[in-house]
Structure 1
């Protein structure tokens, strides 16, 4: 009877062990992955959906201006001396309007950003501070004209003098309030006597650059660097929802109904839409950590990547740290893939491919703006030689990076920095007759975010549950192994000579006590 029971116990324990192995190796991980996917996929019922649709906390949008301190010397051919003023800090709120759902597990939406000045964070700086900067719109227009029709530069410059009459146009610099430069706008007059002014204003009206908005009375335009971000929503975007394949979660498949950015010609590398919109990423498989993460940046009409650097810890959570490396904005000699970004000369000394660390935005913005990292970090040292002070690259201050929680793909902390430059070019007009030619920075921006304490706590609780589930699968497996070992011992001992089922399964029946043979009689 005991033998039958021990064999039954053995069979059950072996069956439990097999089931435990399956659960530990396949079942529990699948259940955990399935639950994570339900929480992070872009579906009305998921925990992530509403946080993705309306960002629960504002990003920090910081603007630092390069104030020009020696305009007279520059006008006479000397090197520029610059002074950083800022940062001017804005709260950046993001809200998405869902337009519908498409094929291939996609969601279609518009993205609206709203910027509100944060006086407390900005102190001691205010929006009313006066700054002297390179006249970005003026230089951009002159360079465009000079590259297309150099003979018209002098004639059209007379129209520009009327356009900028409110500020004076004695040189390529302008002194204005920070608020006007950033969002409110610098008034550009279109009512004057010179015929070239009408031609300039007509061209602005036709091309409708995003940095220009017409006045209500039709008397001119307002130029500002960022008001277009505050006025209109961008998109539509089409993004993978991650319901069918969580590894594709957040991938942008089209922007403004385009699946390819033809600003850079037909080259498949530069024109590809690759990566997310920087708000959401798929979970990271710790056995197959991606070497690069991509984000699509509509303001520069291309995808940018960050490279994996290390595994780290932040907010008491494990994180994967990615950083923008020099290859993203590298020259074609350093990164041959970037050759398709070489589109238009920015200087008479160049062939259309820029120096290390800078990118021509003309094909994207239809204006000769040049992007770089702040202070020309990771750029050619040749760019630094143009200045006599105020430009000093610093990795910790000027790098861009992101930290992701691997189980959920949540962005724990991220910083993205970008500098806007325009060429200061010597030309045969009074304002530019003696200036040195070189790439001149106007300002740089920083967008940063980190999860607030409330969401940190939520993530930590979810990770604890994942930890408990992982612990449970190994505990169950350990108990199953113990049960299998015990049952094996029972079966083996049950087959030994002298075994009796009437005694404890671990005690053999005695045959002799105090010299008396118990088996007799």
Structure 2
């Protein structure tokens, strides 16, 4: 798991309405461990329940910088959350919220270490609100309480009844549908968790997967054939229409929250599943998003190689041999009546950090898989081998039958070899 942060270099100018200038810092790399635990088989083995805890261990040799030392200046997400939560309240409540932020010394931009930004720091305003609203944590961090924890119990199908149902999620956190979005189709939990797929995958399939990080299901389509450590694989990629605006993809209307409040292409408002914090997700550097979001921030350089999400899957077994999930965390910032903290800032989708969660099969596992594929290749080709043998025996049968009926004459002793065609008449 690689984290890249955007450090703001001109905070005062941004408050005066100028274009933000950011510099990318990172990667800060962590080894991610994600075993399936508490595995239980039920319903005659047709379903499996499990949790998927994730643990992160810092890898200094694969990182640029020290997360405990390196400082990041970025948008004050807790302050923006407080302002967004109270923007439609009474004038008295807005005044109280403003006094709280002022008393805590909150400003539009804050500076914290990478470690604090990821794993959490105590915020004065949130700590004051927490006793009143227990669902709001006193600590803020982009991955606060997400190390050595799981995101809830999953119920998967085993594939016993249908091989295409292998690892398909039917419930998450006890529910068979999400509750954040404004349409039934957008609230559906579709596909697997992205770590495994059914065997015998074809190029014309649509692969569905559910991501709790994205708070939604999405799909991927075949893009190309690749080879990973000698293993053949199909590369599947989420197409641009997955995050397109409703003009380009009307099916995405359900992701507009509140209903009718639709963002541009390439963005997903996940505030409803992030404790109402004004968090907006996108591909890194606004890759495949509307050009406006790229030009609004000085320092965005989107490109396919570094910022595209992809899945390389062995089509025979359905095993994931290489993948990269790339996602950017942004904050929706704007001037809010009654609050002085934003100054004259322009309305912006402000990038804070992006991650590159990537995996590639190790050497030992790749050798095991290749041995399976060699056996599988023989098994897959058995029908063709049987067909070939059948054709050979068929030809022999035809020749023997024809000779038995005198269609091919026997050469008499002492007669010269005839090299011309033989025509028999009745």
TM-score normalised to the size of structure 2?
A: 0.89
Question: Going by fraction, where is helix more abundant, 1 or 2?
Answer: 1
Write out per-residue CA displacement over residues 409-442 of structure 1, whole angstroms, 9 at most, x where no aligned residue. Answer: 1112111111111122123433223222211111
In structure 2, stretches of 5+ residues that fail to align are 416-426
Q: CA 1:75–1:106 in structure 2 vs 1: closer, same or farther (change >3 Å)?
A: same
Aligned residue number for residue 264 of structure 1: 181
Aligned residue number for residue 85 of structure 1: 25
Indicate if the aligned counterparts of 1:254 and 1:273 stay in contact, CA closer than 8 A: yes
Aligned residue number for residue 180 of structure 1: 116
Aligned residue number for residue 5 of structure 2: 65
Q: Distance in 1 between matches of 2:290 and 2:394?
A: 67
CA drift of 1:470 comes to: 4.3
Aligned residue number for residue 218 of structure 2: 304
Q: Distance in 2 between matches of 1:277 and 1:150?
A: 45
CA drift of 1:311 comes to: 2.8
Q: Distance in 1 between matches of 2:394 and 2:221?
A: 48
Aligned residue number for residue 438 of structure 1: 348
CA drift of 1:495 comes to: 4.6
Q: How do residues 402-481 of structure 1 correspond to structure 2 at under 5 angstroms? A: 402-427=311-336, 428-471=338-381, 473-481=383-391
Write out per-residue CA displacement over residues 14-65 of structure 1, whole angstroms, 9 at most, x where no aligned residue. Answer: xxxxxxxxxxxxxxxxxxxxxxxxxxxxxxxxxxxxxxxxxxxxxxx11111
Task: Identify the match of residue 155 of structure 1 among 96, 121, 131.
Answer: 96
SS in 1 for 2:5: strand
CA drift of 1:118 comes to: 0.7
Indicate if the aligned counterparts of 2:55 and 2:149 stay in contact, CA closer than 8 A: no
Q: How do residues 389-408 of structure 1 correspond to structure 2 at under 5 angstroms? A: 389-408=298-317
Aligned residue number for residue 316 of structure 1: 230
Indicate if the aligned counterparts of 1:300 and 1:365 stay in contact, CA closer than 8 A: no
Task: Identify the match of residue 289 of structure 1 among 204, 209, 213.
Answer: 204
Compare CA radii of gyration and give the structure with the larger one. Answer: 1
CA drift of 1:382 comes to: 2.1
Q: Distance in 2 between matches of 1:177 and 1:334?
A: 40
Q: Distance in 2 between matches of 1:112 and 1:316?
A: 31
Q: How do residues 42-191 of structure 1 correspond to structure 2 at under 5 angstroms? A: 61-103=1-43, 105-149=46-90, 152-163=93-104, 168-169=105-106, 171-183=107-119, 185-189=120-124
Q: CA 1:460–1:446 in structure 2 vs 1: closer, same or farther (change >3 Å)?
A: same
Write out per-residue CA displacement over residues 461-481 of structure 1, whole angstroms, 9 at most, x where no aligned residue. Answer: 111112233455544443443
Q: CA 1:326–1:340 in structure 2 vs 1: closer, same or farther (change >3 Å)?
A: same
Write out per-residue CA displacement over residues 87-113 of structure 1, whole angstroms, 9 at most, x where no aligned residue. Answer: 111111001123422338110111100
Q: Distance in 1 between matches of 2:14 and 2:397?
A: 91
Indicate if the aligned counterparts of 2:127 and 2:139 stay in contact, CA closer than 8 A: no
Indicate if the aligned counterparts of 1:377 and 1:395 stay in contact, CA closer than 8 A: yes
1:240 aligns with 2:157: yes
Q: CA 1:74–1:484 in structure 2 vs 1: closer, same or farther (change >3 Å)?
A: closer
Q: Distance in 1 between matches of 2:146 and 2:127?
A: 28
In structure 1, stretches of 5+ residues that fail to align are 1-60, 191-195, 213-220, 346-350, 500-505, 513-521
Indicate if the aligned counterparts of 2:201 and 2:318 stay in contact, CA closer than 8 A: no
Task: Identify the match of residue 383 of structure 1 among 293, 313, 320.
Answer: 293
The RMSD of aligned alpha carbons is: 2.6
Name which of structure 1's ranges 469-478 and 422-431 shifts more when overlaid on structure 2: 469-478
Indicate if the aligned counterparts of 2:170 and 2:176 stay in contact, CA closer than 8 A: yes
CA drift of 1:223 comes to: 1.4
Q: Distance in 1 between matches of 2:165 and 2:354?
A: 32
SS in 2 for 1:334: coil
Q: Distance in 1 between matches of 2:384 and 2:240?
A: 44
Q: CA 1:243–1:511 in structure 2 vs 1: closer, same or farther (change >3 Å)?
A: same
For CA contacts below 8 A with separation 6 or more, give which structure has more relative contact order.
1
Task: Identify the match of residue 325 of structure 1 among 236, 239, 252.
Answer: 239
CA drift of 1:179 comes to: 0.7
1:279 aligns with 2:192: no
TM-score normalised to the size of structure 1?
A: 0.74
Aligned residues: 413
Q: CA 1:330–1:150 in structure 2 vs 1: closer, same or farther (change >3 Å)?
A: farther
